[in-house]
Amino acid sequence: MSDIFISKTQFLKGLQCLKSLYLHKYHPELMDEVSESREAVFQSGKDVGVLARGLYPGGVEILFDSNNFAKQLELTKAEIDGGAEIIYEPAFSHDGLFIKADIFKKGGRGWELYEIKNSTKIKAEAFHLEDVAFQYYVLKENGLSISKAYLVHINNQYERQGDIEVDKLFTINDVTKDVKDIQKKIKEHINIQKNILNGKMPKIDIDKYCSDPYDCEFLGHCWEHIPEESVFDLKGRGIKQFELYQKGIIHLKDVPIKLLPLAAQLQVDCALNKKCVMSKAALRDFLDSPWYPLYFLDFETFTSPIPLYDGTKPYQKIPFQYSIHYLEKEGSNLKHHAFLAVPNTDPRKEIAVNLIQQIPKNACVIVYNIGFEKSVLNSLKAWFPEYEDNIDGIINNLHDLMIPFKNQHFYSWQMKGSYSIKAVLPVLVPELSYEGMEISDGDMAMLAYKKMCESTDPSEIEGIRKALLEYCKLDTLGMVRILEALKNF
Residues in the site for ligand SF4, rule: CB under 6 A? 17, 19-20, 23, 204, 206, 209-210, 216, 218-219, 222
**Residue-wise DSSP of 12-62:** HHHHH-HHHHHHHHH-GGGSPPPPHHHHHHHHHHHHHHHHHGGGS-S-EE-
Least separation, in Å, of the C-beta of 138 and ligand SF4? Answer: 25
Least Å from the CB of residue 25 to ligand SF4: 12
CB nearer to ligand SF4: give 15 or 376: 15
Nearer to ligand SF4, 23 or 421 (CB): 23
Question: Smallest distance, Å, CB 37 to ligand SF4?
Answer: 18
Smallest gap from residue 210 Cβ to ligand SF4 (A)? 3
Whether 288 and 409 have beta carbons less than 8 Å apart is answered as no
User: From CA 470, how far away is CA 445, in angstroms rounded?
Assistant: 11
Strand order in the sheet with 335-340: 335-340, 318-327, 294-302, 364-367, 398-400
Nearer to ligand SF4, 19 or 481 (CB): 19
Which residue type, as a one-letter code, is found at position 288? Answer: D
Shortest Cβ 227–ligand SF4 spacing (Å): 17
CA dihedral 277, 280, 285, 286 (to 10 degrees): 40
Residue 23 or residue 355: which is nearer to ligand SF4 going by CB? 23
CB closer to ligand SF4 out of 192 and 204: 204
Using the 8-state DSSP alphabet, how is residue 311 labeled?
Answer: T
Closer Cβ to ligand SF4, 144 or 219, answer by number: 219
* Long-range own/partner contacts, residues 227-234 (CB < 8 A, 24 or more apart): 227/251, 229/253, 229/271, 229/272, 231/255, 233/267, 233/271, 233/416, 233/417, 234/260, 234/264, 234/267, 234/268, 234/417
Residues 478-489 as b/e (b if ≥16 CB within 10 A, e otherwise) read bbbbbbeebeee
| Residue 18 vs 146, nearer CB to ligand SF4 | 18
Report yes or no: 29 and 39 within 8 Å, Cβ to Cβ. no
Which of residues 35 and 176 has its CB atom nearest to ligand SF4 in the complex? 35
Q: Shortest approach of ligand SF4 to residue 225 CB, angstroms?
A: 12
Sign of the CA dihedral with 28 first, then 29, 31, and 37 last: positive
With respect to ligand SF4, which residue has the nearer C-beta, 16 or 408?
16
User: What is the SS3 assignment for 384?
Assistant: coil
- Nearest-CA neighbor of 297 among 400, 413, 448, 153? 400
Beta strand 364-367 pairing with 294-302: parallel
C-alpha distance across the termini of the chain, in Å: 71
- Shortest Cβ 337–ligand SF4 spacing (Å): 45
Q: Whole-number minimum distance, CB 123 to ligand SF4, in Å?
A: 18
Q: How far is the CB of 211 from ligand SF4 (least distance, A)?
A: 8
Q: DSSP alpha helices (H): ranges in 142-240?
A: 166-169, 176-181, 183-198, 219-222
Shorter beta-carbon distance to ligand SF4: residue 216 or 270: 216
Question: Minimum distance between the CB of residue 444 and ligand SF4, rounded to whole angstroms?
Answer: 24
